[in-house]
Amino acid sequence: MDREKVNFAKMNALGNEIIVADMRERTDIIGSSLAQTLKADPSLTFDQIMSIHDPRTPGTDAYIHIINADGSLSGACGNGMRCVTAALSAESGKMHFIFETNSAFLSSFEQSNGEFTVDLGVPHFDWDKIPLSEEFADTRHIELNIGPADEPVLHSPSVVNVGNPHALFWVKQDVWSYELERCGPLIENHPLFPEGINVSLALVTAPDAITLRVWERGAGLTRACGTAAAAASVCGARLGYTERFVTVTMPGGALLVEWKDNNHILITGPVNYEFSGKITLADGAWQRETEG
């Protein structure tokens, strides 16, 4: 084994760009500085790095270390977990996996139609588990206005933690009518959110359909975000806007989200392989080896 280089696959799930790195049989990690070095290379675009490590807990298939594009640590990435599942399923022939992440134990599996499902577990609605810096008794809507006080552009988001924190602003017009690229970073870093937050604009188009646009914590505007889709679905159902089985359409495509009777959230959708290669850990140099 070349200890200086690791194998990786560049994948995407509805345009959510993911690097899946094979860190098995190693004790080191891909950390913030390497992620930032890789991100500085315009020829390798990504939103998250999903590093596969040997299991830390008996009964699990792997420990997954998740780093955002800006080098920050993430507790969950629904689309990234689907990419990991696809990569390991292709390698081993297995259909079902149990993974440990920094925030939870997650199960995932390949569907008979070739799509992939991740069980994100149970959502957390308590203010201190999201977390917020102030107590709110009802997190279906919290007091937060963006824009003029008498006529805010965005207001009263729903907040939830589905492995990472999310704020959902429910809008009445097209999600592209708002400058999310401007207000997204302001909301992400608002003092109300001590660990930062993912920011979404959500438009309910039917009882079983939501259109979503996402500013992802640590990554910026993304074409898709699995945990944001899950967050929108459970918050929409909690408010009575939607049913518990919805299609969430994002710029990169659609995810099916089911909030089951046991309160677990399942997200299902396709995964695409782009290419594979090797990354040199010492300096972040990388090379393609196999095209998709």
What are the distances in angstroms from CA 182 to CA 44, 149, 188?
Answer: 24, 18, 11
Catalytic member of 83, 183, 225, 235: 225
- Listed residue (160, 269, 224) closest to 15, CA to CA: 224
Q: What spatial distance separates the first Cα and last Cα of the chain, rounded to whole Å? A: 24
Please pick, among 77, 83, 183, 235, the residue that the annotation labels catalytic.
77
Buried b (16+ CB within 10 A) or exposed e, 109-128: bbeeeeebbbbbbbbbbebe
SS3 of residue 67 by DSSP? strand
Alpha helices in 93-225 (DSSP H): 180-188
Both tokens assigned to 243: 């049913």
Cα(214)–Cα(123) distance, integer angstroms = 19
Is 83 tagged catalytic? no
Instruction: In whole angstroms, give the CA distance from residue 106 to residue 270.
Output: 18
Catalytically active residues are 77, 225
